[in-house]
Amino acid sequence: MPNYPGNRREWEVDMNIQEGDSLPIVSICIPTYNRAGMVGDAIRSALAQTCRNIEVLVVDNASTDTTASVVSSFSDPRLRYVRNDRNLGLFGNFNRCIELAQGKYLHILHSDDMIPPEFTTTCVRFLEEHPDVAFTFTGVEIETGGTVTTQDYRNRTEIFPPPEGFRRILRDRSVVACPSVVGHRRIFQKYGGFSLDYPYAADLALWLPISRVEAVAFLSGTRVRYRQGPHSESHRFLFASARGYLDMVNIYLAVGEELGQEKGLFRTDLNAAVERFAGDCLYAAWTRGEGMQGVPPSFLPSVGRAALSLAEGGPVSSWCRRLVLRTMLFLLPAAYRVPGLRRLTAFLRQERKSLY
């Protein structure tokens, strides 16, 4: 077994140990596929970390571009490159990263994203000082077409003991940004890695069971730079197709089944989750339903109504919200057939179609 240092003074020395002297304390894994124009920025940001005792592991998912040449242009001995013989899919490649990583801690950094120099030190220091925390997550800087906006779940660092993290991840929007997560590698292994049943939202499907049993923490003071656009997986699964929305319904269904007799303890959170998601479906159908490949206007409203069918009980206000949402989801496809209505709202949809 690797001999990782135990107390703070020792591990802070180890974070700056000379390359090659020990196993890395952190594996920064960069799964990639055909992003030769971006992966260099991700590698550069990883190698620039103030935490020196790292490995940067690039796992190439059988790219057909010049990714290998980009990686070979770096000469840092902490950089390791592995190319899959075949494409394993997005989350299959994430699991390959878990399999190959050597560090005590694991960070899966998307190949189109970047981290500031202090990011790894901030996360590892916190995890070493709070060994009961399974993983940390941070805010993001979202870069879209030259514009950068910030998004933080909280305005301060906060630990969420179980099952509080589970409740928050379930009911709130955009709690955990996947490329910001740094956690114990053993936790990823313990919970089986990323499920291949959810091609878009397997990260959410992993954070939920972990946070139901383990403590998780939001860290303020550092952020991941998240580049949003047609190149991203989010665009592919939420803008160009509707598969991401199907994932969400299946995850909510699975959560209810896995809770079993404890479902009643989380009914309010589950109801809030499906109500919010139904609103997301309504919004997506209005703003970008036309641009999804092979998706009729009625599809997303149908997904939203299916999600609402998972809600049970709740106060009168919750029943009223669901009634309003069901009505709007039912009427929206018919409203789009009204002559001139889509042209009338086109300028509004153009202004807001890039929002999640």
Give the span between the Cα atoms of 295 and 329, in whole angstroms.
Answer: 16
pLDDT of residue 9: 36
Give the span between the Cα atoms of 203 and 197, in whole angstroms.
Answer: 11
Classify residue 210 by burial, with Cβ atoms within 10 Å: 0-12, 13-18, 19+: buried
Q: How confident is the prediction for the chain on average, in pLDDT?
A: 88
70 Cβ contact partners less than 8 Å away, ≥ 6 residues apart: 36, 39, 40, 43
With beta carbons less than 8 A apart as the criterion, state whether 70 and 61 touch. no
Does the pLDDT value for residue 260 go beyond 60? yes
The token duo for 121 is 């030190």
The token duo for 19 is 């390359």
Q: Indicate the angle between helix axes 90-100 and 202-213, nearest 10 degrees.
A: 50
Q: How many CB atoms lie within 10 A of CB 125?
A: 17
With beta carbons less than 8 A apart as the criterion, state whether 15 and 51 touch. yes
Phi, psi of 134 (to 5 degrees): -75, -45
3-class state of residue 159 by DSSP: strand
Give the span between the Cα atoms of 43 and 54, in whole angstroms.
Answer: 12
Does the pLDDT value for residue 356 go beyond 50? no
Give the span between the Cα atoms of 279 and 225, in whole angstroms.
Answer: 27
The token duo for 212 is 């139901």
Does the pLDDT value for residue 21 go beyond 90? no
**Residue among 151, 199, 216 nearest 356 (CA):** 151
Please state which CATH class domain 8-233 belongs to. Answer: alpha beta
With beta carbons less than 8 A apart as the criterion, state whether 177 and 224 touch. yes
pLDDT band at 259 (very low <50, low <70, confident <90, very high): very high
Does the pLDDT value for residue 151 go beyond 70? yes
pLDDT of residue 346: 52
pLDDT digit string (tens) for 50-60?
999 999 999 99
pTM comes to 0.88
pLDDT band at 35 (very low <50, low <70, confident <90, very high): very high
Across the chain, where does the E strand assignment appear?
26-32, 54-60, 79-83, 105-108, 133-144, 147-151, 158-160, 182-184, 215-228
Give the span between the Cα atoms of 34 and 290, in whole angstroms.
Answer: 27
pLDDT digit string (tens) for 265-284?
999 999 999 999 999 999 88
pLDDT digit string (tens) for 182-199?
999 999 999 999 999 998
Does 163 sit behind a cis peptide bond, omega within 30 degrees of 0 on the bond before it? yes
Could you say which DSSP state residue 17 is in?
P
3-class state of residue 87 by DSSP: coil
For the chain, domain boundaries? 8-233, 265-352
Q: Count of alpha carbons within 13 Å of 73, Cβ hemisphere only?
A: 11
Phi, psi of 183 (to 5 degrees): -145, 175
With beta carbons less than 8 A apart as the criterion, state whether 215 and 161 touch. yes
Q: What is the mean pLDDT of residues 239-256?
A: 87
Q: What is the mean pLDDT of residues 120-130?
A: 98
Q: How many CB atoms lie within 10 A of CB 201?
A: 24
pLDDT digit string (tens) for 283-304?
888 877 666 666 787 889 999 9
Q: Which residue has the tokens 């790292």?
A: 54
Classify residue 339 by burial, with Cβ atoms within 10 Å: 0-12, 13-18, 19+: exposed
Q: How many CB atoms lie within 10 A of CB 265?
A: 11
Does the pLDDT value for residue 8 go beyond 60? no
